[in-house]
Amino acid sequence: MKFRGLFIGFVAIGLQAMGAWAGDRAILTTTDYSSGSLAAVDLETLQAEVNLLNIHSDASVQTYRGKIYVVNRLGQDNILVLDPDDMATPVRQFSVGNGSNPQHIAFASETKAYVTRLESERVLVVNPATGDSLGSIDLSFVADADGLPEAAFMTIFDGRLYVACQRLDRNDPSWAPTDRSEVVVVDVNTDTVIDLDSTRDGTQGIVLQAKNPFGGQVRMGKLYLSCVGRFGALDGGIEVLDLQNNRSEGVLLSEGDLGGDVGAFAMVSQDRGYAVVVDASFVNSVRGIDLAEGTVSAPLPGTSGGFTPAIGALKGRLYVSDQGSFGSPETVGLRVYDTSADTLVAGPISTGLPPNFIAFLEGVAVADFDGDGDVNFGDFVVFARAFGTGPGSPGWDPKFDLDGDGRVNFGDFVIFARRFGHSG
């Protein structure tokens, strides 16, 4: 019955998806901090399309199930939804509240998502298909004395929303972190906060060992958080949370180990990744990290040393948004590295304005489970066998978890169906 039901849904969704993009692309917000735009880079040819759409000068970008979401931050306070086949024409735009300063959007489904807002004590719940508000989640209980929790990064895993609350002191000129930073856990079915320790007063989340988390990534049931602490103090690092048991495993690599403030980072395996490191002279470098060994490599060659706001890893390559060094505009652009040898493959690739945030749209290969270069019925059969599995269950393989939520479910099926019939 499971196979039959999937097949019927597969036909319906797959037919709707005919003509969708097939190749992998990087989608970048670009900025000179007075204006902003959008760029796309074909990851096979490394050719860039630039100035695709005017956006806010402070904007981040995410992708979900074949759509692009641009989060326009303080001053515009809205989210743009784009079709990858026509990025110049927004599908929709919706407000998340004037002056709210949205930071991140996390998706439970195509019709339900969460938006963190730096100027609000509430996480907004929205229908991204319409832009309608579905409510909000009160996080005022985790706020510090200024009344705001500074909720920033979020992720969803196994039916739970994890919200990283920085808890910054706005009475301090540098917005230094307060006594603690915390990850609040929310049940996405009921939108209620989960108390992780009922023996203590109040609602308990996961208290971090480091402070000021601003970025994260989930791999194999672990949440990796980049925690900068207080800028210049070398009191942060990369902390890892066990999402199966909702506890911190501690800071596995400190800023002292890294040799500077930790910035953006990207994992390429359970233990290995890359991090942007900012030294005392504000020189940015990208260094390989091994969390199991606790080691840090020499800086990758060829970067400018200028501000590096984002990096991203996909299929054996690392993509570095390099905004260049002062007085050297030729150093600005997207740099591409081979992660097996830490060698520069290409770049700087011009993105029009300097590159800022980066997200990926994956094409055929992500759903080509049998490796024959096509997404066809053979791939559907093996996917159907894995449907309904999760970590610890028989037949679980994370390659089938296409949306990374910790389960092989209908969301992954939709992604697979949209790639069906394409060749790599």
The DSSP secondary structure of 21-41, one letter per residue, reads --S-EEEEEEE-SS-EEEEEE
| 415 pLDDT higher than 70 | yes
| 16 pLDDT higher than 60 | no
| 201 pLDDT higher than 90 | no
User: Is residue 43 domain-resident?
Assistant: no
User: Is residue 33 domain-resident?
Assistant: no
Domain identity same for 408 and 291: no
CA–CA separation, 338 vs 316, rounded Å?
Answer: 6
What would the mean pLDDT of 163-181 be, rounded to a whole number? 94
Domain identity same for 256 and 203: yes
What would the mean pLDDT of 79-103 be, rounded to a whole number? 95
CA–CA separation, 309 vs 291, rounded Å?
Answer: 22
Q: Looking at 44-48, 184-188, 303-307, 396-400, which range is the least confident one?
A: 396-400
Whether 331 and 306 have beta carbons less than 8 Å apart is answered as: yes
Domain identity same for 421 and 288: no
End residue of a domain, out of 360, 379, 400:
360
pLDDT at 20: 46
Return left, alpha or beta for 227; rule: phi > 0 is left, psi -120 to 50 is alpha, else beta.
beta
Domain identity same for 242 and 371: no
CA–CA separation, 298 vs 372, rounded Å?
Answer: 38
Residue 421: which of 13, 113, 6 has the closest Cα?
13
Domain identity same for 252 and 235: yes
Reading the block at residue 193, the tokens are 């906060």
User: Which of the four pLDDT bands, split at 50, 70 and 90, describes residue 2?
Assistant: low
Q: How many residues does the chain have?
A: 424
What would the mean pLDDT of 183-204 be, rounded to a whole number? 93
Domain identity same for 323 and 414: no
User: Is residue 193 domain-resident?
Assistant: yes
| Structural domain range at position 410 | 1-23+362-424
Residue 377: which of 1, 6, 2 has the closest Cα?
6
Q: Count of H helices and E strands in the chain?
A: 4, 30
Q: How far is CA 377 from the centre of its chain?
A: 31
User: Which of the four pLDDT bands, split at 50, 70 and 90, describes residue 421?
Assistant: low
End residue of a domain, out of 310, 325, 360:
360
Burial 20-42 (b: 16+ CB within 10 A, else e): bbeebbbbbbbbeeeebbbbbbe
User: Which of the four pLDDT bands, split at 50, 70 and 90, describes residue 388?
Assistant: confident
User: Is residue 49 domain-resident?
Assistant: no
Residues forming a β-bridge with 114: 106, 125
Residues near 329 by Cβ (< 8 Å), separated by ≥ 6? none
User: Is residue 37 domain-resident?
Assistant: no
Domain identity same for 19 and 69: no
Domain identity same for 99 and 230: yes
Whether 342 and 390 have beta carbons less than 8 Å apart is answered as: no
Q: What is the dihedral of CA 107, 108, 112, 114, to 10 degrees?
A: -50
CA–CA separation, 5 vs 279, rounded Å?
Answer: 55
Q: What is the CA radius of gyration of the chain?
A: 21
Alpha carbon distances (Å) from 170 to 102, 223, 370 = 17, 27, 53
Domain identity same for 356 and 367: no
Q: How far is CA 222 from the centre of its chain?
A: 14
What percentage of the chain carries pLDDT values higher than 90?
73
User: Is residue 44 domain-resident?
Assistant: no
**Which segments of 141-290 are extended strands (E)?**
151-157, 160-165, 182-187, 192-193, 206-207, 213-219, 222-227, 237-242, 247-254, 261-267, 272-278, 284-290
User: Which of the four pLDDT bands, split at 50, 70 and 90, describes residue 328?
Assistant: confident
Whether 308 and 263 have beta carbons less than 8 Å apart is answered as: yes
Q: What is the pTM of this model?
A: 0.84
Which pairing describes strands 213-219 and 284-290: parallel, antiparallel, or unpaired?
unpaired
CA–CA separation, 69 vs 105, rounded Å?
Answer: 8
Domain identity same for 232 and 124: yes
The total of structural domains in the chain comes to 2
User: Is residue 34 domain-resident?
Assistant: no
- Looking up residue 66, the CATH number of its domain turns out to be 2.130.10.10
Residues near 315 by Cβ (< 8 Å), separated by ≥ 6? 24, 43, 365
User: Is residue 336 domain-resident?
Assistant: yes
Domain identity same for 211 and 259: yes
Whether 68 and 361 have beta carbons less than 8 Å apart is answered as: yes
pLDDT at 15: 42
What would the mean pLDDT of 107-126 be, rounded to a whole number? 96
Domain identity same for 372 and 334: no
- Looking up residue 11, the CATH number of its domain turns out to be 1.10.1330.10
Reading the block at residue 418, the tokens are 């949209």
End residue of a domain, out of 360, 386, 412:
360
User: Which of the four pLDDT bands, split at 50, 70 and 90, describes residue 43?
Assistant: very high
